[in-house]
Amino acid sequence: MSSVSSSPYPDTPEPKEKTKRSEWPLWEIFIRGQHGLNHRHVGSLHAPDAEMAIRNARDVYTRRNEGVSIWAVKSDHIAASSPSEKGPLFEPSNSKVYRHPSFFDIPDEVGHM
Partner 1 sequence: MAETETAVDRAALTEFLLRMGDNSLILGHRLSEWCGKSPVLEEDIALANLALDLIGQTQMWLGLAGEVEGKGRSADDFAYLRDASGFRNLLLVERPNGDFGQTLMRQFLFDVWHHEMLSRLVRSSDARVAEIAGKAIKEVAYHLERSADLVVRLGDGTAESHRRMQDALDDCWPYTGEMFIADDHDRAVAAAGIAPDPSDLKDTWEATVTEVLRQATLHKPEHGYAQKGGKRGIHTEHLGFILAEMQFLQRAYPGATW
Which window, 31-39, 52-60, 68-76, 98-106, contacts partner 1 (CB under 8 A)? 52-60
- CA distances 102 to 70, 105, 106, Å, are 37, 8, 10
Minimum separation from the CB atom of position 95 to partner 1 (A): 46
Q: Select the residue interacting with partner 1 from 31, 42, 56, 70 (CB under 8 A).
A: 56
Single out the residue of 32, 39, 27, 38 nearest to residue 65, CA to CA.
32
Report the Cα–Cα distance between both ends of the chain, in Å, rounded: 47
Single out the residue of 44, 39, 55 nearest to residue 77, CA to CA.
44
Of 51 and 89, the one with the shorter C-beta distance to partner 1 is: 51
Binding to partner 1 by residue 63, rule CB under 8 A? Answer: yes
Residue ranges binding partner 1 (CB under 8 A)? 24, 45-47, 51, 55-56, 58-60, 63
